[in-house]
Chains A and B, each alone.
Chain A
């Protein structure tokens, strides 16, 4: 059976060992077993129908049991009430704090375990800083962390232990802890996965074991995009669409793997993702003919939204963009860049790996940065004469924002997000001057 052990890892196949190889050869999947008539399957795979029926019944029974039927029936109906008790005891759901109160506020407490979270942004925006902070915070007891160890999987650079040590000594919260309470580097397992094959193997086989063995609460993957890009650059242009499709499949499988890990082990999985410049066509600015709106005939006879009216906009009426379901348009809201209309188009970024990857994640945090240009006088004195100032614009500093783009447990951030800066003591929100 091609996928039986993936669907039901604990299924006892010993009783049906004589059927499985034939089913495998006929490429019968578990879904086929459930949907198709056993006699049809038996004919296709050339196995005895009676034996097959027994296998199907066993598989269906195992699936039901796996879902929670047949064991304690009441388990499914305690989903909502169980959480009440849990959070009441601990003073809130368990989260991993960012160790800054305003950033935590944006996340309604911090990163929650059980979810696949993405942190995306340009290089230099602060992704690594955030990830390092989380690696330390997860070791703290509630409310800041899960009191568990962490795993750091890197595709490029090794773990920045110097920076971790610096954070431990310079961060206001961390430095104030006693040596017993302080997080330590020894509780962070670090591994490098320089290519896709290693990454696949480690994530699928070694990570689950490590999680159980070392009581891990947080897994950080830095970064998810790197190996995919390298791989497909290698494949060459002629592979083109096929390799893109293959990449799509791999991303879906990776997403499913990480989500399953997060859910079944109760850990937080945080992946870093890179961004690329967005090249989007600006909307057309064509002077139009007067619109020829005809009377509407709403055949359903419901309240008319399209009442006949002159082209001028009525009060309290919102005109939608043309082609609202275009990717370019909608991605202004789910990428983290583009939802502020005044931002020039050339400054917009798009997280790598496209919408297929975005569909895999539960939460996206976008770290954006914008330069602040120093004001320079338009005319300078050169050798006693006035000249136009030819100097290039001078970037005096960068401003950075932390934005929750979407999260299941928290509302999206307003505007650009929470402004922050990165200092020796870690990530710190910028207090607004009154």
Chain B
């Protein structure tokens, strides 16, 4: 696939050609087997395991960001999105591949910080009890050579980025690129299409104004389809970081949601991770792990992996703890259990008992604008949505329609709250 050097004509014919080059199935399978790893390692072995695809018969696939697909990482400010991008880039460079970094972040990449991670990966790692063995470099490149394989661009506007992907110059992406990082895409998008509640008001009388107001979602859809196309055609893992905005739920409990959202956007993203912080107990509780290091623990939630949705809005899916250090990301040797989404199998799903609804009634506002619930129901009915979190539209409501969905959300949240209180009282740490 990557051996096809698809010449991108600069004429407008490109914009309409969404076809991938076709190969026979046996040829494709053969290429697949012949290729090296089809992922870019994340740098956290626990996370790699969560992202590993189903192995092909006779092959074990290592996990990581899937090449040919788009992965999105979102989270609040300062949580570590850029750190994940850096780690992925270092993994790719160490495999001998090229990396393209598109820097649109509010905090432009600090070269020294990147070099720290790149050079640390080369040094032999002292095997602390909980440190995972660093993957040895498969290429014999020197740090200097790896640095020159790292291509950094700073697109100031969304238009620049689109010009790069929709009408690419002949040298983009460079051959042997395995990873493109866009950090952060939401900044670019928000600058071009700032959130404005006004355009929902029907003040737009003229046809042009109405058309212009609708451009935001049209461009978003075009953006994701372009990104998925470029990723697929060049067999590149495309890693996108995104900031968060708030969405109000009833009861004035604001939720942090990804800044870019939309039905088509979500379906174009193959893997989605959320990074977040949480309380970590104080000393005295842990035998093996070092408590100072523990305090720095952050969490990565796998919300969607290789097209499979694991958690709905507000949920955090499968959680992997990590820490950000000067040498890069570091695994934490503990299991993080997310009690907000107790795992329920479809057969053992408890009957919804309305009497158990919490007085707090943390109802979620109708999220029709963000998610097409009905669409999800149809998909779920085909068994394609694997329901880890009961808050998903999923099984029960597929047949019973939209209203019980709201009730089930209450119920599972109340169960979650009850669980939470019990455990919260156990884990509240002594004052520091």
Contacts and interface: CB of A to CB of B under 8 A. Distances in A.
Contacts of B360: 284
Contacts of A245: 195-198
Given A68-B153, A408-B107, A291 B419 contact: yes
A160 interface: no
A405 B79 CA distance: 10
Interface in B415-432: 415-429, 431-432
Contact of A408 (B76, B108, B428): B108
Contacts of A54: none
Interface string B383-398: 0001010000000000
> What interface size band does chain B fall in?
35 or more
A341 B316 contact: no
Contacts of B357: none
A362 B246 CA distance: 19
A103 B182 CA distance: 33
A415 B282 CA distance: 12
Contacts of B421: 284-288
Interface string B125-168: 00000000000000000001001111111111111101110110
A324 B160 contact: no
Nearest to B350: A292
Contacts of B278: 320-321, 324, 329
Contact of A300 (B215, B255, B305, B334): B305
Contacts of B194: 248-249, 252-253
B432 A340 contact: yes
B125 to A, nearest CB: 20
A321 B151 contact: no
Given A37-B12, A295-B345, A408-B113, A67 B164 contact: yes
Given A306-B337, A315-B287, A327 B246 contact: yes
Contacts of A411: 324, 326
Nearest to B326: A411
B314 A76 contact: no
Contacts of B425: 285
A298 B343 contact: yes
A112 B243 CA distance: 23
A370 interface: no
Contacts of B164: 63-64, 67
A322 to B, nearest CB: 4
A364 B337 contact: no
Interface stretch (A184-192, A229-237, A254-262): A254-262
A79 interface: yes
A326 B420 contact: no
A81 B243 CA distance: 29
A260 B255 CA distance: 30
Interface string B181-197: 00000110011101111
Q: Is the interface of B mostly helix, strand, loop or mixed?
A: mixed
A77 B212 contact: no
Contacts of A34: 159, 162-163, 166-167
Interface stretch (A142-150, A195-203, A353-361, A377-385): A353-361
Nearest to A304: B343
A394 B400 CA distance: 63
A87 to B, nearest CB: 6
B316 A263 contact: no
A32 B198 contact: no
A263 B105 CA distance: 11
Contacts of B162: 31, 34-35
B424 A83 contact: no
A245 B299 CA distance: 31
Contacts of A263: 108, 154
A371 to B, nearest CB: 18
Interface stretch (A22-30, A125-133, A171-179, A211-219): A22-30
27 contacts: A7-B157, A29-B212, A31-B162, A31-B192, A32-B219, A34-B166, A34-B167, A53-B12, A56-B12, A69-B171, A81-B147, A87-B112, A283-B424, A292-B342, A294-B345, A305-B318, A311-B423, A316-B334, A319-B423, A321-B278, A321-B279, A323-B253, A325-B274, A327-B254, A342-B432, A355-B245, A408-B110
Please provide the 4 A-B residue pairs with the shortest distance between their CB atoms, ordered closest to farther.
Answer: A406-B78, A83-B111, A362-B107, A322-B420
Given A64-B163, A67-B164, A320-B319, 12 more contacts: A31-B215, A37-B12, A63-B163, A77-B149, A112-B110, A249-B195, A253-B194, A288-B419, A318-B321, A320-B316, A329-B278, A359-B186
